[in-house]
Amino acid sequence: MTTPKSNPRGIIPIAKPLIGADERAAVMQVLESGQLAQGPRVDAFEAAFAAHVGAPYAVAVNSGTAALIVALQARGIGPGDEVITTPFSFIATATSIIACGATPVFVDIDPFDFNLDPALIEDAITDNTKAVMPVHLYGNPARLGELRTTCDDFELELIEDAAQAHGAVHQDQPIGATGTACFSFYPTKNMTTGEGGIITTDDAEFAARCRIIRNHGQGERYLHTMFGLNWRMQDINAAIGLVQLEHVDEWTERRIANATQLSRLLTHVETPRIREGNRHVFHQYTVRVSHDRERLQDALKAAGVGSAVHYPIPLHQQPILQEMGFGEGSFPVAEAAADSVLSLPVHPSLTEDEIGYIAETVNRLTS
């Protein structure tokens, strides 16, 4: 590893939320309207987001985690049930299942794209299995066709953790257009509402159940027919989301163009892989490195290039989940991924010059 060249432009951040004058004006309008909780802007945002992904229904909530919990509950997942999912994700994938009283059951990932390996699902199915929850990790679609077939064969629910996958496409079909998908609008996501999340679906009855659950389980005022809590999105957040929706397609195109350029320029790391017919929206641009990753990150930082590890500890090895009894070696592909992945800046504000600098710096430090 050679001595890093310092970047006179300061650090290139790993993520950069884009908030402009229109978002500020939209928030001011909400504040002036006096309608601070869920109101007409949430309705408008749900309609706009549903139209954007091509889903008949969308139910907005106050985080991506809330979207997963509400969707699981509305699909009837509860105590005693098992949900098959990936060990290589953000913690909310597993804790949302636990929040419903159910048990996450991990199966290993596909080394090609870090997503749930459909070939391993059948062996994990028991009499208690009720659902499968794939994650479209980094914005790269999981193998939904095979997962749907298994779910149909075994009468399981398929609930997609699409927290990172706004605008992603699986075999010509936008993620969220059919089935049940849960998106996050956390500030670093491809579009944001501040905090926020949304469930998209083509199932009217399921959407109605989600609406009841997100509002204390009340279908009518003060009549509580289901267990629910306050998972509602605020109008302030929806107002930001409505503006962001106008830009997300252009931002996504830029992310894809930045990723394409990085993959063309990087010479000594394994670049992301995409299945034919899919659209990866590069919430993260994540490479595999065979170097001392911590040293490499320090050297990148010194050279002005931000980086991050998504994720350094697989879910089954997290202290909160270790009581399930999984040891090292339980999911070797996920463990190897956790040891080798490194995310580089790919966000839409990067200039061509910065992309060249990121690639040149990574190449120099890994050669």
Q: Which residues here bind ligand PLP, judged by CB under 6 A?
A: 63-65, 89-90, 92-93, 135, 161, 163-164, 184, 186, 197
CB-nearer residue toward ligand PLP: 139 or 304 = 139
CB-nearer residue toward ligand PLP: 50 or 70 = 70
* Residue 196 three-state SS: coil
Confirm if 355 and 258 have CB atoms less than 8 A apart: yes
What is the three-state SS of 218-251?
EEECCEECCCCCECECCHHHHHHHHHHHHHHHHH
Q: Which residue is nearest to ligand PLP (CB)?
A: 64
CB-nearer residue toward ligand PLP: 136 or 355 = 136
Cα end-to-end distance, the chain, whole Å: 7
Q: Please state, in angstroms and rounded to a whole number, the distance separating the CA atoms of residues 276 and 80.
A: 38
Minimum distance, C-beta of residue 30 to ligand PLP, in the bound complex (Å): 20
* Residue 38 three-state SS: coil
Minimum distance, C-beta of residue 199 to ligand PLP, in the bound complex (Å): 12
Residue type, 79: P
CB-nearer residue toward ligand PLP: 163 or 365 = 163
Minimum distance, C-beta of residue 309 to ligand PLP, in the bound complex (Å): 14
- Strand pairing class (197-201; 180-184): antiparallel
Confirm if 162 and 181 have CB atoms less than 8 A apart: yes
Minimum distance, C-beta of residue 318 to ligand PLP, in the bound complex (Å): 14
Minimum distance, C-beta of residue 197 to ligand PLP, in the bound complex (Å): 5
Minimum distance, C-beta of residue 292 to ligand PLP, in the bound complex (Å): 26
CB-nearer residue toward ligand PLP: 93 or 129 = 93
* Residue 342 three-state SS: strand
CB-nearer residue toward ligand PLP: 135 or 362 = 135
Query: What DSSP line would sit under 78-105, residue for residue?
Result: -TT-EEEE-SSS-THHHHHHHHTT-EEE
CB-nearer residue toward ligand PLP: 56 or 187 = 187
Identify which of 187, 179, 87 has the alpha carbon closest to the alpha carbon of residue 137: 87
Q: Please state, in angstroms and rounded to a whole number, the distance separating the CA atoms of residues 8 and 39.
A: 47
Minimum distance, C-beta of residue 235 to ligand PLP, in the bound complex (Å): 18
CB-nearer residue toward ligand PLP: 195 or 235 = 195
Confirm if 269 and 297 have CB atoms less than 8 A apart: no
CB-nearer residue toward ligand PLP: 162 or 303 = 162
Q: Please state, in angstroms and rounded to a whole number, the distance separating the CA atoms of residues 51 and 71.
A: 19
Minimum distance, C-beta of residue 195 to ligand PLP, in the bound complex (Å): 6
- Which is it for the CA torsion 106, 108, 113, 118, positive or negative? negative
Minimum distance, C-beta of residue 185 to ligand PLP, in the bound complex (Å): 7
Q: Which residues contact 295 (CB under 8 A, 6 or more apart)?
A: 1
